[in-house]
Amino acid sequence: MAKTRCHAERAEVTLRSKTMLLEFTGECDADSIRLTAELPDAGGPEDGGTIVLEQDGATVTQPDGEVRLTAHEPIRWDAGPIDADFALVESPEATVLTVRGLVVEVDSSDD
C-alpha cells in the first residue's frame, strides 16, 4: 500500500516534564505511521531538535544526542485521538515522552 502524506495539529507532548503543543507532519498507511515535529528552541542545552513518532516507538534528537524510545502500546493512528506513552528501551518503567490528543489527518491531494 502506498504511503499517504498526513499531519496532526496541536498535539500535547510532554518530554522530560516539559509540556508543549506541537505540529506533526509525515506519512501514514494502513499498517504504519511516521510523523515528525520540531521541538521549540529556547536556548537551553536540551532545547530544540525533533521528535519522530512511529507505530512502535519514537526517536528524540536534540543537541546533546539521540534517544530511541519504545511505545508502551503500538500506535493505531486510524482509531481516533492518540494518547501514547514512550519509555527508554533499557528502562521501560520510566516514561520519558507522553503524547495526548494526537489526531492524525490525511492530507488532501491537489492532483
Dump pLDDT digits (tens) for 49-81.
999 999 999 999 988 889 999 999 988 777 778
Q: For 28-32, 35-39, 76-80, 82-86, which range has the lowest pLDDT when averaged over its residues?
A: 76-80
pLDDT-based confidence at residue 94 (cuts at 50, 70, 90) = confident
Please indicate, yes or no, whether the overall pTM of this predicted structure exceeds 0.85.
Answer: yes
The grid coordinates of residue 63 equal: 543537541
Contact 69, 57 (CB under 8 A): yes
**CA dihedral angle for residue 11, residue 62, residue 35, residue 24, rounded to 10 degrees:** 40
